[in-house]
Amino acid sequence: MPQPISVPTDSEVRLADFDPADTSGIDNKKAARKELKDNVEILADLGYRLYAENQRALLLVLQGMDSSGKDGTIRHVMRGFNPQSCRVTSFKQPSVEELDHDFLWRIGRAAPRKGNVGIFNRSHYEDVLVVRVHNLVPEDQWQSRFARINTFEKLLTAGGTKIVKVFLHISRDEQQRRLQARLDNPKKRWKFSRADLAERRFWDDYQRAYEDVLTRCNGEYAPWHIVPADHKWYRNLIVSRILREALEQLSPQYPPAEEGLESIVVE
Cβ neighbours of residue 133 closer than 8 Å, sequence gap 6 or more: 202, 205, 206, 209
The site map against ligand AMP for 131-170 (x = CB under 6 A) is x---------------------------------------
Q: Which position among 72, 94, 219, 223 is part of the footprint of ligand AMP (CB under 6 A)?
A: 94
Residue 26 sits in the site that holds ligand AMP (CB under 6 A): no
Residue 72 sits in the site that holds ligand AMP (CB under 6 A): no
Neighbours of 75 (CB within 10 A): 11
Residue 178 sits in the site that holds ligand AMP (CB under 6 A): no
Q: Please name the amino acid found at residue 246.
A: A
Helix and strand totals (H; E) in the chain = 10, 5
Least gap, CB of 1 to ligand AMP (angstroms): 34
Q: Distance between CA 119 and CA 110 in Å, rounded?
A: 9
**Could you tell me the CA-to-CA distances from 126 to 36, 120, 213 in Å, in that order?**
29, 11, 10
Nearer to ligand AMP, 126 or 230 (CB): 126
The site for ligand AMP, by CB under 6 A, has a size of 10
Residue 202 sits in the site that holds ligand AMP (CB under 6 A): no
Nearer to ligand AMP, 51 or 103 (CB): 103
**Could you tell me the CA-to-CA distances from 182 to 49, 117, 192 in Å, in that order?**
39, 30, 6
Residue nearest to ligand AMP according to CB distances in the complex: 126
> Using CB under 6 A as the criterion, which residues of the chain lie in contact with ligand AMP when the complex forms?
90-94, 122, 126-127, 130-131
